[in-house]
A and B are shown apart, each in its own frame.
Chain A
Amino acid sequence: MYRYIARRLVMMVPVLLGISIIVFFIMELIPGDAAQAILGSYATPENLARVRRELGLDQPLVHRYFIWLGNILQGDLGRSYILQRPVLDEVLDRLGPTMLLAGTSLMLAALFGMFAGVVAAIKQFRWQDGLLTTVVLIGISTPSFWLGLMLTLVFAVELGWFPVSGMSRVVGGGGIGDILHHLVLPSVSLAIVATGVIARLTRSTMLEVLRRDFIRSARAKGLNERSVILKHAYKNALVSIIPVLGIQTGFVIGGAVYIETVFQWPGIGRMLVGAIQQRDILLVQGGVVVIAALYVIINLIVDVLQSVVDPRITV
């Protein structure tokens, strides 16, 4: 177990390096460079040259990559020229709200998705199955940002149950209750697609597992359906579901970009969209690097979870 975790930790290093290379070189492809970006299009050549030298842009590419990497490792992601503050500070400020939103959505999706999937599987061909399958189909076909707007329209504007937006800081004045109040609509909108995907997968995996030989063995022991389904079948289904939970985490984090925009949620997603529109390259770069690193850690957790469930995964 610990060996496994240690091995996965070591294996993270090349992945993180790979991510850094991809990010660095993608940003290199941008026409114009950081100096240009910092000084704007009316910069004098002398100024450009000076800033380039200061930023080390006159060095060869590989050299610059290592300087850049060194800076990142020291926590220096550069300065946002729009916000005029260190990228790292900005990203860290916005990480919390994004994690809160994505985490809540993911939990909702996992819980409801697996529950709906199991119910649909054991009530196959009955009305429960039909209903859930239909709802799920609509769920996975819905544009989440549109759903966000519609939910706002109905529950915030018409009914007034929830705020339209206005979550400005996680630790705002209102405390937990206020946060939750602000969280309901965005997290539901964000969770809907993932819930659908997880529910469909759970249903089909459960149905497939329930046909395996060991289910027949469990029934031949005289076990009741509860243990057959919840103990024997469900645990085996988890082996297929857990990796998808990992992938869905990625979708949810990515999808947060839309939802944060719709609900003006002060997270990284909205920051990124703004930064892209204003060509604040260092801010984009910083945001992407931090989220990618976070995602690598999440994948590690998923892998460890998987090895807990499935004894066949060995060191």
Chain B
Amino acid sequence: MSGSVRPRFGAGLRRFFYNRLAVVGLGILIAIAAVSLLAPILPLAHPNITDLAMRIMPPGTEGHVLGTDQLGRDILSRLIWGTRISLAVGLSATAIAAIIGSLIGIVSAFYGGVIDNTLMRGIDMLMAFPYILLALAIVAVLGPGLFNALIAISVVNIPFFARNVRGATVSLVRLEYIDAARLSGKNNFKILFGELLPNVMPVIVITISTTVGWMILETAGLSFLGLGAQPPTPDLGSMLGDGRSVILTAPHVATLPGLVILVLVIGINLVGDGLRDVLDPYLRAGALVSPRPATEVDAKLLARKRAEKADDRRAGESEDGNRKTGAPGGAQSDGGDSGQPDGDAQSDGDGSGHSDGGAPHISELPLSVRNLRTWFWQRDAQIHAADDVSFDLPKGRALGIMGESGSGKSVTALSVLGLVPTPPGRIMDGSVAYYGEELVGAPLEKLRFYRGNRIAYIFQNPMTSLNPLFSVGEQIAEAVRRHQPVTGEEARAKAGELMDMVQIPDARRRINDYPHQLSGGMRQRIGIAIALANDPDVIIADEPTTALDVTIQAQILRLLEDLRERYGVSLVFISHDFGVVSAVCERIVVMYAGEIVESGSVEEIYRRPLHPYTRRLMACVPKVGSRGAEMDAIPGLPPALDRLPAGCRFADRCDMAIEACTSAPVPLEEHANGSPFGAREVRCIRAKEVTV
């Protein structure tokens, strides 16, 4: 009906065929299905004709390619007919279980309450029996036979469908589009079968793909025990059972049917895995690729860094022979290392001494990011998440990174210590230095030494950033123990102190609480305590208050301010909210579509934004008191980061755009100096035209 369904379906199909194993599985299944469907017209001996003269012939016998069984029946013919029966029984059992089970599951989840309770208690009862045992009990009642086995297998599989489908439906029923459908006037029937069922279908298909294999195995099993197919019906399971008595003299009689079952079920499972990869939204999003311990650094960049380092060392030996860091090299283990890098510039103490105008040497900066470029490499796209990002952070100062979602703030922050997930992330270019010590391309051991020790993070979502299974005290103590030579007792005491420090009331008792027992604000305080655990030089806070309410946000901002003043830690503070950044920071960089578009002091940017994006963004933030004011919204959307324009990335939304804007990349240029720790910079060719 609609054109856009097809591409999506096509994409799924392509993904399926991309999975070579799934294609192999499909091939196996098609071949087996074809042969068993064609059984009646294939030139085969009748599967049930006995010929006692030809008993137990080995494979290769004239007229019996795979030999005969103990009654002289042709094994090949019986295998093919048997596969036909096994497939038919397995598939029908699956269909029965799928239909009944899914119906129970979906109705149960949709109606909830008493209906749900009753149905699910019934399902629980069925599941209270070990799987096959229940099938046996049913066969015991109905008597042996293929049809009865089919019923037994279907019944015992109903709970799997009911449970899975109910689980999937329960999470869907809560979604707002079900409410929206009701508000659109749809009745329960239409919602159940028009709105829910299409969305539950993938789960049903996935469950089918996992159970069909079992069902064939179980049917074969019952027949093997003599409770399924009755003689002389050929069925893979009963053939195996028959073959068992001659296993010593003629192993092929039992081996062959087992092999056929094995191949058949492997085929089913391969196809099932392929389907799952395509249908499960979780897997589709690439969920089953886990990130490496550190972000990959582009090979070319790495080679260049190595070369530079070698040069430096040669140069350094002549100038400043004994400068070294305490950071362990790549070969050392990280078990016992602790303490701080000795002899670093930080202890020389003049980090904050230089004036705002004078540029400090890179070795005096706790953090210096130069031309950082981090991309995500996907199968068919390169996402330029951060491009050419540079900033400096002197000791004890606070730098804000502001931008809308997707502008590259988090990627920039995570690139500092290699925490961008690889795959798909890769640092393509640039450098990150801690007191002059290069971190991009540093060995993992060195990164680990700095992580949480000299440079610590506070993350956005305090619920998901804490491990739900460990007490908060333990999670703080763990950070302490990793970098300080303390006993467990001491680390725990330190954790308590840290919790006091972030003003958690009644810290001594809360230390044993688990994250779910704390409120959002308290959890974020724990996040801050973890960041403070090793007296870091730099804290990178990525939207630490975005998930919190305003009143709690105010508490946390105040806390961060206090701590920064008290401990002189340098702060990178990321937020999409100019007001929040300005509450904490002196200097701000504004990001758009992966680039810094403007930087300067809070005051300067607030009073006189130079970049058209910054100016218009700030104009469309509603403010209390600006009652009913017309807001001049920025039209359109930010560009897709895998299809960026050649020129200015803001051009198609910019009301000042001229032709020159789109022809070549626009550089970030110094507009004036005199801003706190850095120049006033802007990435716009018309910035000079903005006058006060």
Contact = CB atoms under 8 A, between A and B. Distances in A.
Contacts of B452: 220-222
A135 B288 CA distance: 19
A199 interface: no
B137 A137 contact: no
B642 to A, nearest CB: 21
A116 B293 CA distance: 21
B225 A219 contact: no
A83 to B, nearest CB: 16
A178 interface: no
B332 to A, nearest CB: 12
Given A18-B128, A258-B224, A217 B287 contact: no
B511 interface: no
Interface string A237-262: 00100000000011101110110011
B325 to A, nearest CB: 15
Contact of A284 (B140, B258, B414): B140
A137 to B, nearest CB: 6
A220 B527 CA distance: 11
A141 B141 contact: no
Contacts of B261: 143, 146
B393 interface: no
A312 interface: yes
B89 interface: no
A21 to B, nearest CB: 8
Given A224-B334, A311-B514, A210 B225 contact: no
A1 B403 CA distance: 48
Among A143, A253, A281, which residue has the most Cβ atoms of chain B within 10 A?
A143
A254 B157 CA distance: 14
B132 A208 contact: no
A19 B258 contact: no
Nearest to B243: A149
Contacts of A208: 282, 287-288
Contacts of A232: 467, 470
Interface residues on chain B, size class? 35 or more
B213 A141 contact: yes
Interface stretch (A53-61, A67-75, A290-298): A290-298
A276 to B, nearest CB: 4
Interface SS of A by simple majority:
helix
Contacts of B471: 311
B128 A214 contact: no
B244 A262 contact: yes
A26 B137 contact: yes
Interface residues of A, number: 80
A180 interface: no
Contacts of B527: 217
B117 to A, nearest CB: 12
A4 to B, nearest CB: 15
A211 interface: yes
Contact of B265 (A15, A19, A30, A141): A141
B464 interface: yes
B482 interface: yes
Contact of A143 (B136, B221, B291, B335): B221
Interface string A133-152: 00001101111111101101
A206 interface: yes
A142 B466 CA distance: 41
A228 B469 contact: no
Contact of A277 (B124, B144, B237, B287): B144
A197 to B, nearest CB: 10
Contacts of B287: 207-208, 211
Nearest to A22: B125
B283 to A, nearest CB: 9
A126 to B, nearest CB: 12
Most A CB atoms within 10 A — which of B129, B140, B266?
B140
Contact of B130 (A223, A236, A250): A250
Nearest to B241: A145
A217 B459 contact: yes
Contact of A222 (B138, B244, B289, B448): B448
A82 B213 CA distance: 36
Interface string B230-272: 0000000100100010011001001101100110011011100
B468 interface: yes
Contact of B258 (A150, A214, A221, A312): A150
Contact of B133 (A144, A149, A291): A291
B290 interface: yes
A143 B248 contact: no
A22 B479 CA distance: 54
A276 B469 contact: no
Contact of A214 (B226, B255, B467): B467
Contacts of B468: 214, 236, 310-312
B255 A150 contact: yes
Contact of A149 (B137, B258, B291, B470): B258
Nearest to A154: B251
A29 interface: yes
Given A212-B464, A217-B465, A250 B131 contact: yes
A218 B139 CA distance: 53
8 contacts: A146-B240, A219-B293, A219-B451, A220-B459, A239-B469, A261-B224, A273-B227, A299-B128
Please list the 10 inter-chain residue pairs (A to B) with the smallest Cβ-Cβ separation, ordered nearest first.
Answer: A254-B132, A146-B258, A210-B290, A222-B451, A221-B452, A141-B265, A250-B130, A213-B464, A253-B130, A222-B452
